């Protein structure tokens, strides 16, 4: 790895699970997760939605904000927030998950944001569909990619860049992204990309560029850092890898009983326990089942109606808790036949870890 412009850049060698670096602690304090007990809410309160911000949050006052659409287009556009609000508005529940969610479940672990299970949330996003706006700009012959460029800028691996991602015209047509100015009935909060962000339904969160200020039509494929140097599935660092895109099937449960403050281990009394959680998947696929595995039993969960084609479903199951220590797992399946694995899928950067959550519970007499 290059050092870039900095002296004494900290080592990013794979770390054993016992060794959390000061830099990882710094990232974990800037980027918080969803407290898992709030999985009970259909829509995640904006302040509890997970956050992942690579650089510094830019300050973009509403009155001077403009979105530019340029590059290989017939008509360059420069839109104010008023222009964007005057267009068709839609509101849609979308489940967002960070591609690095579960990274800390790998051993050894890639040094980055050390997520366990909590980098997921479902908000009601409000905005205008992207595709008609791109049609108004009009792609010229030979456009292969649309680049979405955020106002935030920094370094990674020695490369200075704005956070930016791209979608091909086919990916735009398939995912129907939104240009979002509202979240859960309120204006977008600064940490979630105010005043304007992209939301790409069904994809991991990196595609949903925050603080979006420029869209550019390109006659070649976009080669920005966040597109080609990271967010690739690799089992070896030397590989080019496959791009990280669609959400993998996954589920979580609200940890039952009473928590221990430090270890987060759970304590409950014997008898029936109602377990609740959420399950989600990508590409508009449907969750077909969730199984609660208690170590000795496998219990089929009841599923609620999905909130929308790109949002999680609620599941519930009753477990007759018996005295002793148990490892509870929930395992979801979708209509492509995919099912969550029990161990993390191999990936050198810890992307796409959809291994079943394990909740350690102690059942004891009251």
Binding flag, residue 282, ligand MTE (CB under 6 A) = no
CA angle, residues 355, 112, 312, in degrees to nearest 5: 40
The Cα–Cα gap between 65 and 308 comes to 31
Asked if 194 is part of the footprint of ligand MTE (rule: CB under 6 A), the reply reads no
Kindly identify the residues of this chain, within the stretch 198-217, that bind ligand MTE according to CB under 6 A.
205-206, 208-211
Cα(276)–Cα(283) distance, integer angstroms: 24
- Contact flag: residue 199 with Mo ion (CB under 5 A): no
For 30, the token pair is: 């800037």
Among 39, 51, 120, 287, binds ligand MTE (CB under 6 A): 51
Q: Which is nearer to ligand MTE, 73 or 164 (CB)?
A: 164
Interaction of residue 54 with ligand MTE, rule CB under 6 A: yes
> What is the C-alpha separation between 4 and 7, in angstroms, rounded?
8
Residue by residue, DSSP assigns 163-226 as EEEEE-HHHHHHH--EEEEEETTEEPPGGGTTT-EEE-TTB-GGGS-SSEEEEEEESS----HH
Closest separation in Å from C-beta 242 to Mo ion? 17
**47-55, 65-73, 297-305, 334-342 -> range binding ligand MTE (CB under 6 A):** 47-55
246: DSSP letter: B
Q: Which residue is nearest to Mo ion (CB)?
A: 98
Which lies closer to ligand MTE via its Cβ, residue 280 or residue 319?
A: 280
Nearer to ligand MTE, 206 or 328 (CB): 206
Site for Mo ion in 205-234 (CB under 5 A): 205-206
Residue 163 touching ligand MTE (CB under 6 A): yes
> Residues 6 or more apart from 274 whose CB is under 8 A from it?
316, 317, 318
Structure tokens at 126: 């409000």
Binding-site ranges for ligand MTE (CB under 6 A): 49-54, 96, 98, 150, 152, 163, 192, 205-206, 208-211
Binding-site ranges for Mo ion (CB under 5 A): 52, 98, 205-206
């Amino acid at each position: 790895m290059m050092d870039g412009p900095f002296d004494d850049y900290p080592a990013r060698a794979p770390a054993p699970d016992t060794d959390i670096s000061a830099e990882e602690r710094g990232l974990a304090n800037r980027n918080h997760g969803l407290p898992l007990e709030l999985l009970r809410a259909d829509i995640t309160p904006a302040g509890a939605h997970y956050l992942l911000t690579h650089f510094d949050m830019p300050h973009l006052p509403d009155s001077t904000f403009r979105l530019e659409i340029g590059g290989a287009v017939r008509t360059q556009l420069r839109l104010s927030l008023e222009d964007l609000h005057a267009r068709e508005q839609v509101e849609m529940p979308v489940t967002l998950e960070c591609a690095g969610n579960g990274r800390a479940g790998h051993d050894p672990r890639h040094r980055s944001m050390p997520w366990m299970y909590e980098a997921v949330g479902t908000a009601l996003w409000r905005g205008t569909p992207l595709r008609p706006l791109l049609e108004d700009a009009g792609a010229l012959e030979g456009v292969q990619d649309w680049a979405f460029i955020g106002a935030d800028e920094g370094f990674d691996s020695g490369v200075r860049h704005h956070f930016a991602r791209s979608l091909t015209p086919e990916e735009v047509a398939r995912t129907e992204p939104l240009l979002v100015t509202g979240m859960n009935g309120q204006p977008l909060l600064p940490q979630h990309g105010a005043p304007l962000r992209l939301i790409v339904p069904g994809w991991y969160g990196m595609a949903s560029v925050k603080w979006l200020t420029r869209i550019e039509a390109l006659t070649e494929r976009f080669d920005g850092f966040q597109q080609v140097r990271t967010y690739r599935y690799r089992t070896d660092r030397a590989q080019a890898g496959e791009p990280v895109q669609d959400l993998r099937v996954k589920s979580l449960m609200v940890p039952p009983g009473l928590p221990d403050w430090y270890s987060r281990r759970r304590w409950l009394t014997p008898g029936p326990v109602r377990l609740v959680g959420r399950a989600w998947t990508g590409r508009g696929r449907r969750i077909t089942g969730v199984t609660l595995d208690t170590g000795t039993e496998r219990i089929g969960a009841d599923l609620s109606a999905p909130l929308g084609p790109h949002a999680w479903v609620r599941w519930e199951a009753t477990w007759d808790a018996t005295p002793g220590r148990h490892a509870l797992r929930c395992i979801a399946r979708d209509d492509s036949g995919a099912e969550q694995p029990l161990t993390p899928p191999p990936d050198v950067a810890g992307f796409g870890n959809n291994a079943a959550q394990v909740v350690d519970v102690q059942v004891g007499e009251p």
